[in-house]
Amino acid sequence: MAPALEAQVQQEEQSLPHNNNFYNTLNDATHRSKVTVIGSGNWGSVASKLIASNTLRLPSFHDEVRMWVYEETLPSGEKLTDVINRTNVRELYSFHFFVELRDSNMLVFVTPHQFVEGICKRLVGKIREDAEAISLVKGMEVKMEGPCMISTLISQQLGINCSVLMGANIANEIAVEKFSEATVGYRNNREVAERWVQLFYTPYFIVTAAQDVEGVELCGTLKNVVAIAAGFVDGLEMGNNTKAAIMRLGLREMKAFSKLLFPSVKDSTFFESCGVADLITTCLGGRNRKVAEAYARNGGKRSFDELEAEMLQGQKLQGVSTASEVYEVLSHRGWLELFPLFSTVHEICSGLLPPSAIVEYSEKLPRSF
C-alpha cells in the first residue's frame, strides 16, 4: 500500500481492527485536536498515513490531516500540491515548506534535522499558544553553548512543549503495514504523551511512552553514527561477528554519551524500541549503513555527498552530519579518548582515516569502559 498523504485533502478511511478500550482513552468530543505534519519526505509521508488512519476513527481529532508543502513545479509541469491532492501519493522526496498553522494544535515535525531551526524561526508568531509538538527528527544542533537536542530547539524557538517519537522505523516497511514499534519520549505530562500514542498507534505500529525525552531522542540520533560504522564493516566484508561487536560497542558509547550529557537519562530507555531495536534495524537495513557500505567498497575515494546523491534519490543521510556534531562535542569537552568508535567514524567520514580503521580503533579503548 502506497503512503497515503494529504495537502489539505481529507484522507480515505483506513480499515483497522477496533480496540475500543485503547482507542476510547482520552476521547473528548467537545475538543477536537487538529494535526499538521511539517515535512513531506519518506518518513513524513508514512507518518501522515498513520496519523490519518486514526484521526478518521477517533472523535477527539479533526479528520483532516494537513501536510504543508513548498509549492514547486515537477518535471511533468504539474504543481506538487496538485499531484498530491489528485493522487494522495507523495512520489518524490524533497524538503517542502508551509505558510499557515494557526488552526492546528498538534504539530508533527519530521524533516532532516538541519532544516529545523530555519523552520522554527519562520513559524514564530504563526502557531497557537496551546499547541503541542512532537519531533520525529533524528539529529542535534551544536552551538557555542553546547549541544542542543531538536526537541529543545523547537521548544525554545516556539515556546511550546515538544515530545519525541523514535524507534525501529524503516519507513518503507511501515508503509506496507509490516509490524513495527516506536517509543514516545515525554517530559512531565503523561496525558499529552498518551494523546501522541493514541495518534500514532495502529495494530501494526505499536507505540509506548517513556518519561525520558533526552534518552529517547539521543538513541534515535546516535544510532545513525553506529550504522555508519556497521556499513563500513559490510563494505569491507568483515563478517557478522565484527558487525555484532561494532553494534555492541556502539550501544555502549550511545549510553555513555547520553548519560554524560544528561545524567537523568534512564538505563531502561536503551531497551525500548528507540534504543537497541532501532540500533539493530538501522545497522541491518537503513540508508546510513547502505551508503557507508558503498563508501568502504570504494576505498573512501568517492565522497558521501556523491554517493548520497546517486543512491538515495533526494533522501538525506543523517549519520555523517551527526558524527561530525558528536565529534565537535567530544573535542570541545575533552572526551575524544572516551569514545573511540564515535571519533573514528567521523575521522573516516572526513577522509582522515581509511575505512579499515573502523576495526583498528578498538586498540584505543580506555580501560574505564
Phi-psi region of 80 (alpha: psi -120 to 50; beta: other; left: phi over 0): alpha
Distance CA 221, CA 312 (A): 19
C-alpha cell at 267: 538505563
Q: In 3-state terms, what secondary structure has residue 164? A: strand
Q: Is 223 considered catalytic here?
A: yes
43 is in an annotated binding site: yes
β partners of residue 149: 140
**348, 300 Cβ separation under 8 angstroms:** yes
Distance CA 239, CA 227 (A): 15
230 is in an annotated binding site: no
171 is in an annotated binding site: yes
Let me know how many helices (H) and strands (E) the chain has, helices first: 14, 9
42 is in an annotated binding site: yes
290 is in an annotated binding site: no
C-alpha cell at 132: 503541542
Distance CA 60, CA 77 (A): 39
300 is in an annotated binding site: no
Catalytic residue among 121, 126, 178, 223: 223
364 is in an annotated binding site: no
What DSSP string describes 349-365? HTTSS-GGGGGTGGGG-
39 is in an annotated binding site: yes
Distance CA 101, CA 42 (A): 22
289 is in an annotated binding site: no
Cβ neighbours, 10 Å, residue 95: 17
Closest CA to 205 of 243, 184, 178, 165: 178
Beta strand residue intervals within 69-128, DSSP E: 106-109
**129, 167 Cβ separation under 8 angstroms:** no
68 is in an annotated binding site: no
138 is in an annotated binding site: yes
C-alpha cell at 100: 499557515
167 is in an annotated binding site: no
335 is in an annotated binding site: no
What phi, psi does 30 have (nearest 5°)? -85, -10
Closest CA to 187 of 132, 257, 110: 132
Closest CA to 227 of 341, 360, 111, 113: 341
Closest CA to 358 of 223, 275, 234: 234
The two beta strands, 33-38 and 61-68, are parallel
- Which residue ranges are tagged as binding site for NAD(+)? 39-44, 115, 171, 287, 316, 318
- Which residue ranges are tagged as binding site for substrate? 138, 287-288
- Which residue ranges are tagged as binding site? 39-44, 115, 138, 171, 287-288, 316, 318
Give the residue numbers annotated as catalytic, written as ranges: 223
